[in-house]
Chain A
Amino acid sequence: MNEPEGLWARLPEWMRSARFRYTLLYSAVLFGLAAVVLAAIYLVLLMSLRATPVSAGRRTLCPPFGGQCITFITFQHAERLINAQILDKLRFYMFGALGALFVASLGVGWVVAGRVLAPIGRITAVARDIQATDLSRRIQLPGPEDELKQLADTFDAMLARLDAAFAAQRQFVADASHELRNPLAIIRTNADVALADPDASPDELRQAIATVKRAGDRMSLLVDDLLALARRQQPTLEHEPVDLGAAVAEASDDFMVPAETRDIVLDRAIAPGVVVTGDREALKRVVANLLDNAVRLAPAGSRIRLATGSEGNRAWIAVADEGPGISPEDQQHVFDRFWRADKARARSDGGTGLGLAIVRQIVESHGGEVRLHSKVGVGSSFVVWLPITRPALDGAQR
């Protein structure tokens, strides 16, 4: 098993190339065909000319009374003699021609194989040049729409997709590090300044610690959300039947008190017996993130409505608030990671800028979609649509 590989490895590089193999193949086929054709011609000639040795037809006539003898052959014999010589010559030239053809076919084969393989060489060279960090290059193979162009175009399209994916990833990492660095800077600077002051009062120290704790809390929220996003990028969600109404009710229980403290009424209209397949914790998180936004941003004294239900083979969860609303140009960004309507406000009020991105990711991994209807000054409503696996029969689960 090792020996052929060893032999293969010992060959010079040009002999290991596809170009060399195609050249040999081309040359062998051409040479074989030519040899067969020539051999056939020769054989046919041979059969039809039937050369007999000239000596067989030789006659000698001697004069009866002395004198010189005359050796002669008949006209027929002379013809045969000439034919034999022609066949000899033909054979000689045939071999010569075959030899020349062999050499020529190698040369032509090498050139043709080179021409055919050149675009592949170009594709290889570009692919080799491309690093993961610079995906901006393209092959852009010129020429007609043939198989090789299709290959190159397919490759280009793949590069474009990879480029976009890497760019999004880089942007995400840059955003995430930016979001993490700010609370880190708060922690370090406050600690540095507090430690450097030898006669700081207990009150000042307590204040510094409270600030550090605030920044730490913010970081742990952010890290939780980042991990949630990262984990859900892999398809590791549970697949189990989930009673949607029960999950939504459970998730919203946590928001009754915060809503009340902000003087917000949280109305719930939960239809029983809707069952979807998916990850119960993830679906609860969807509801929690939507409610978290609503409770944080809605004005005091307003009303938040949370409802679930089903329509045909789809279940829905709706969260409607009477908050500030989202302008049409901002609506396309609300599901982007780290996007915030108001940079200054959102930082301090505990949002990580990841809540809705997580919502969208979870919903889409469940085969559903999330829609936003919003009017500035009136309020926003988020509607999550999820496919139902089986319509519940008894509706008595809760």
Chain B
Amino acid sequence: MRVLVVEDEADLADAVARGLRREGYAVDVAYDGDEALDKAAVNAYDLVCLDLNLPGIDGIEVVRRLRADAGAEPPRVLMLTARDRTVDRVVGLDEGADDYLVKPFDFDELKARVRALLRRDAGRSGALLQVGDIELDSARHEARRAGRPLALTPKEFALLHYFMSKSGQVLSQEDLLEHVWDENADPFTNTVRVTVMTLRRKLADAGQGQPIQTVVGRGYRLREEQ
């Protein structure tokens, strides 16, 4: 899952990014509204953590343009605001933000809200994902196949998470690179292929058969029924 953190306080933006990266998200940072819109125009973010009070283009305007420009699948928007007046939040929510958090916030709460917003995509509730005999608990950061725990690296976990939230769909290497890796990933390496390979091996070791199929010339697909 790919996240953009937009915050003009660099010390805060970097800490949020660091914390979210450790949760396995691919995180980019923008320090003002212009930079945020530039990055959103290039990358397909699943979620934007957006400070409302930005120099230049303010947060409300960023939400508005994200909605207008993103087309079919606009990213989820979590507003971060230091203003606790209701009117600020109402305007933000009306303009299309999905949730808000008042600064200073507990980082655990931020993580929980990020998880909740990303779950909405797949129309599920709860932190627990299940596809076939694979279970994934995004809150506890645990994955199991056939009841047996999988020892996954953060990147493998994030990759599995993304596969499970789009189960049955064919995902190209570009899709995976966009949503699971951040902007620092080199698109010309075979990092996606290697990570998919190690993930498949770990899945195969834990249970019967290979749930992630290769669709020749198009990418990979996680089988819904096995």
* B148 at the A interface (CB under 8 A): no
| Candidates B12, B19, B82; contact of A196 at CB < 8 Å | B19
* B10 at the A interface (CB under 8 A): yes
| Candidates A178, A188, A190, A196; contact of B53 at CB < 8 Å | A178
Scan A203-220; emit 1 where CB is below 8 A from any B CB, else 0: 000001001001100000
A208 to chain B: closest residue by CB: B15
- Count of B residues near A, CB < 8 Å? 28
Q: Are B15 and A178 in contact (CB under 8 A)?
A: no
Apart from A181-B104, A188-B106, A189-B105, list 20 A-B contacts with CB within 8 A: A177-B82, A178-B53, A178-B82, A181-B82, A181-B103, A185-B9, A185-B12, A185-B104, A186-B11, A186-B15, A189-B12, A189-B16, A189-B110, A192-B108, A193-B18, A193-B107, A196-B19, A196-B22, A214-B11, A215-B11
Return the 3 tightest CB-CB contacts between A and B, nearest first. Answer: A192-B107, A344-B55, A185-B103
Residues of B with C-beta under 8 A to A174: 83, 85
Given contacts A193-B18, A344-B55, contact A184 B10 (CB under 8 A): no
Q: Are A177 and B9 in contact (CB under 8 A)?
A: no
* A5 at the B interface (CB under 8 A): no
A352 to chain B minimum Cβ distance, whole angstroms, is 15
Q: List the interface of chain A (C-beta within 8 A of B).
A: 174, 177-179, 181-182, 184-190, 192-193, 196-197, 208, 211, 214-215, 342-344, 347-348
Q: How far is the CA of A174 from the CA of B80 in the complex (A)?
A: 16
* B56 at the A interface (CB under 8 A): yes
Q: List the interface of chain B (C-beta within 8 A of A).
A: 8-12, 15-16, 18-19, 22, 31-32, 53, 55-56, 80, 82-85, 102-108, 110
Q: Are A344 and B83 in contact (CB under 8 A)?
A: no
| Candidates A178, A181, A182, A188; contact of B107 at CB < 8 Å | A188
Q: How far is the CA of A204 from the CA of B125 in the complex (A)?
A: 35
Q: Are A189 and B8 in contact (CB under 8 A)?
A: no
Given contacts A174-B83, A177-B82, A197-B22, contact A186 B53 (CB under 8 A): no
Q: How far is the CA of A214 from the CA of B110 in the complex (A)?
A: 23
A40 to chain B minimum Cβ distance, whole angstroms, is 74
Given contacts A189-B16, A192-B19, contact A182 B32 (CB under 8 A): no
Q: How far is the CA of A190 from the CA of B102 in the complex (A)?
A: 16
A175 to chain B: closest residue by CB: B83
Q: Are B9 and A186 in contact (CB under 8 A)?
A: yes
Residues of B with C-beta under 8 A to A185: 9, 12, 80, 82, 103-105
| Candidates A184, A196, A342, A347; contact of B103 at CB < 8 Å | A184
Q: Are A184 and B104 in contact (CB under 8 A)?
A: yes
